[in-house]
Amino acid sequence: MIKTGIGIGCMWYGIGNTGLPNPAAAFVEVHSDCSATLLTGCADIGQGSNTVLAQIVAETLGIDFEDVFVTSADTGVTPEAGATSASRQTYISGNACKRAAEMARQTLVDLAADLLQDDKDKILLKDKMAFVKDTDKSISMAKLLEECDRRGILVIGSGSFNPDTTYLDAQTMAGIPYATYAFATHIAEVEVNTETGEIKVKKIIAAHDVGKAVNPSLIEGQIEGGCLMGAGYALLEEVLLSNGRITNPNLSNYLLFTAKDVPEVYPIIVEEKEETGPYGAKGVGEPSLIPTAPAILNAIYNATGERFTDIPVTQERFIEQTYYKFDK
């Protein structure tokens, strides 16, 4: 018999390494054609950090995103940024890149104030122009950079950021493990075939507090991928060991969800500004798959009355618990 159910899973998750310093740094240089070079140690492993960090630098300098050239994760030339892990790069390298861009920006602002004969505090950089707030005074970035060339000024910046954490007390584990936290809720709808143990995840609605969505498309991609991974984690993926060796080390026997197993995923981006994040942003990478399995297990309970505390809930586990629990 096919039974359907709905379940909810919620989570909070610390951004960055736990109770440890984990700084990142970045270098920025603005060129006379209004382009910029960004050097960051942050490894883009497909999540899109090169894009997000370039967006942050472009926003800070008032130049076009397309004109920010990123060199990343090259130990020969890029500064330390720590690992692409712990959902930390948008938050930590994002801040480092923002600070590096701000230092370069200050050079441009100082020069603009000089040329426009106004207060530095009133200078805005936007759309490759420098404006004086509340006046019609302005000068193009190209002109500013031409003047830099003439005066021998290099428009460069460096920046670093280390989240405000403390080591944890060895006995009590008290301390400040993370500078900020991500929050999320997933709602899953499942169909359970109670005779065969087949469980189909039909839909996942996934709401994530990301602080500020620097790149909404990338965040939706992260959430969709996370939901798929979380659903496989709940129902299928399992590392099998024999005498300490993994017996299913290949994708032919360590099974992942295929395109045919994918549920409908509805990502919802919640923007609750994080004051310490770059433009209010924080991480979403790992949070995207954390509430999925609890939501699915709750949905199975809602559908069938069977409460599972082990994952994955394979067809066997479902059948054995449902039909044979008194045999044990």
Partner 1 sequence: MQEFKYFAPSDINQALKILDSVKGDKRILAGGTDLVIAIRERKINPEVVIDLKNTQNLNYIKQENGYIKIGSMSTFTDVIESELIKRKARVLHESCYSMGSPQIRNWATIGGNIINASPATDSVPALMVLDATVKLESVSGIREFKVQDILKGINKTNLNENEILTEISFKIPSENTVTGFRKLGRRAALSIARISIACLIEVEENTMRCRDARIALGAVAKNPIRATSAEEVLIGKDISQKLIDDCVEVISEIAVKNIGNRPSLPFKRQSIKGISRELLNRLYMELWSN
Amino acid identity, position 86: A
For position 198 contacting partner 1 by CB under 8 A, the verdict is yes
Give the shortest CB-304-to-partner 1 separation in angstroms. 14
Between CA 40 and CA 42 the distance in angstroms is: 5
Give the shortest CB-306-to-partner 1 separation in angstroms. 14
Give the shortest CB-192-to-partner 1 separation in angstroms. 11
Between CA 123 and CA 133 the distance in angstroms is: 6
Burial class of residue 235, CB neighbours in 10 A (0-12, 13-18, 19+): buried
**101 vs 192 by CB, closer to partner 1:** 192
For position 29 contacting partner 1 by CB under 8 A, the verdict is no
How many helices (H) and strands (E) the chain has is answered by 6, 13
Closest by Cα among 54, 14, 22, 38 to 285: 14
For position 195 contacting partner 1 by CB under 8 A, the verdict is yes
Q: Which stretch binds partner 1 (CB under 8 A): 155-163, 165-173, 212-220, 310-318?
A: 310-318
Q: Is 155 left (phi over 0), alpha (psi -120 to 50) or beta?
A: beta
Q: Which stretch binds partner 1 (CB under 8 A): 31-39, 110-118, 194-202, 216-224?
A: 194-202
Give the shortest CB-195-to-partner 1 separation in angstroms. 3
Is 286 labeled as catalytic in the residue annotation?
yes
**44 vs 261 by CB, closer to partner 1:** 261
Closest by Cα among 37, 58, 49, 46 to 81: 49
For position 260 contacting partner 1 by CB under 8 A, the verdict is yes
Output the DSSP codes for 106-168.
Answer: HHHHHHHHHHHTS-GGGEEEETTEEEETTSS-EEEHHHHHHHHHHHT--EEEEEEE-----PP
Give the shortest CB-296-to-partner 1 separation in angstroms. 15
Containing 224, the helix (H) or strand (E) segment is helix 216-235
For position 311 contacting partner 1 by CB under 8 A, the verdict is no
**107 vs 193 by CB, closer to partner 1:** 193
- Give catalytic residue positions: 286
Q: Which residues contact partner 1 by CB under 8 A?
A: 193-198, 200, 236, 255, 257-261, 314-316, 319-320, 323-324, 327
